[in-house]
Amino acid sequence: MGKETLTLVFLLVSGLLFGSIVGEILGPWVPFLTKSKMITWSPAADLEILKYDLNFQVKLNLASIGGLALAFWIHRRIK
């Protein structure tokens, strides 16, 4: 179960990255691929002796969502 989850996460991140790169390359010819939305999650805690602040950001566009779908399809095919 752990190895399969790690493979899925790796494929999904790779798919997002691949889709984003394709969107940037095709952006001058297909302008709607470059329109994107930034999703941010910032958990933080202050526990007197321990304080942390994390910041996660994901920039999604149509091409990166396509890459995500392709990565999920590939994961289902190799499963």
- Whether this prediction's pTM lies above 0.85 is answered by no
CA-wise closest residue to 10 among 78, 72, 77, 79: 72
Q: What pLDDT score does 34 carry?
A: 82
pLDDT per residue rounded down to tens, the chain (79 residues)? 678 889 999 999 999 999 999 998 998 999 888 888 999 999 888 888 889 899 988 888 999 999 999 999 999 998 7
The C-alpha atoms of residue 66 and residue 16 are separated, in whole angstroms, by 8
| 3-class SS of residue 79 | coil
Backbone φ, ψ for residue 36 (5° rounding): -135, 165
